[in-house]
Amino acid sequence: MAQLLITGGAGFIGSHTCLVLLEAGHNLVLIENFSNSSPEALRRVLELAGPKAKSRIQIVEGDIRNSDDLDCAFSIASSPIEAVVHFAGLKAVAESFEDPLDYWDVNLGGSRSLLNAMRIHGCRTIVFSSSATIYGYPNEVPISENALVSPINPYGQTKAAVEQLLADVAASEPGWKIARLRYFNPVGAHPSGLLGEAPHGTPANLFPYVSQVAVGRRDKVEIFGGDWPTSDGSAVRDYIHVMDLAEGHSAALNVLQQEAPQVLTLNLGSGRGYSVLEVVKAFEKASQKKLPYIITSRRKGDVACSVADPDLALKRLGWSTRRGLEDMCKDSWTWQMANPDGYSVEIQSLI
CA-closest candidate to residue 73, choices 124, 30, 37 = 30
Given the rule CB under 6 A, which residues bind ligand WQD? 91, 93, 131, 133, 183, 185, 204-206, 209, 222-224, 235, 237, 276, 299, 302
Pair 236, 202: CB distance under 8 Å: no
By beta-carbon proximity to ligand WQD, the closer residue of 66 and 205 is 205
Report the chain's C-alpha Rg in angstroms. Answer: 19
To the nearest whole angstrom, how small is the minimum distance from the Cβ of residue 23 to ligand WQD? 24
Active-site annotation holds for 155: yes
By beta-carbon proximity to ligand WQD, the closer residue of 38 and 230 is 230
By beta-carbon proximity to ligand WQD, the closer residue of 27 and 212 is 212
To the nearest whole angstrom, how small is the minimum distance from the Cβ of residue 284 to ligand WQD? 15
Selecting among 155, 183, 239, 343, the annotated active-site residue is 155
Q: What is the C-alpha separation between 81 and 79, in angstroms, rounded? A: 7
Q: What is the C-alpha separation between 326 and 79, in angstroms, rounded? A: 42
Q: What is the C-alpha separation between 264 and 290, in angstroms, rounded? A: 43
By beta-carbon proximity to ligand WQD, the closer residue of 59 and 189 is 189
Q: What angle do CA 62, 65, 69 make, to 5 degrees?
A: 35
Pair 42, 9: CB distance under 8 Å: yes
To the nearest whole angstrom, how small is the minimum distance from the Cβ of residue 290 to ligand WQD? 17
CA-closest candidate to residue 243, choices 279, 176, 167, 192 = 192
By beta-carbon proximity to ligand WQD, the closer residue of 75 and 296 is 296
By beta-carbon proximity to ligand WQD, the closer residue of 8 and 62 is 8
By beta-carbon proximity to ligand WQD, the closer residue of 205 and 254 is 205
Pair 127, 134: CB distance under 8 Å: no
To the nearest whole angstrom, how small is the minimum distance from the Cβ of residue 269 to ligand WQD? 11
Provide the 3-class DSSP secondary structure of residue 85: strand
To the nearest whole angstrom, how small is the minimum distance from the Cβ of residue 293 to ligand WQD? 9
Q: What is the C-alpha separation between 49 and 263, in angstroms, rounded? A: 31
Q: What is the C-alpha separation between 344 and 323, in angstroms, rounded? A: 28
To the nearest whole angstrom, how small is the minimum distance from the Cβ of residue 291 to ligand WQD? 12
- Cis previous bond, 142, omega within 30: yes
To the nearest whole angstrom, how small is the minimum distance from the Cβ of residue 80 to ligand WQD? 30
Quick one: how many helices (H) and strands (E) in the chain? 12, 14
Q: What is the C-alpha separation between 197 and 343, in angstroms, rounded? A: 9
Element (H, E) at 16: helix 12-23
Provide CB contacts within 8 A for 305, sequence distance 6+: 138, 141, 228, 230, 235, 236, 237, 273
Q: What is the C-alpha separation between 230 and 233, in angstroms, rounded? A: 5
Q: Which amino acid is residue 287, in one-letter code? A: S
Task: Give catalytic residues, as residue numbers.
Answer: 155
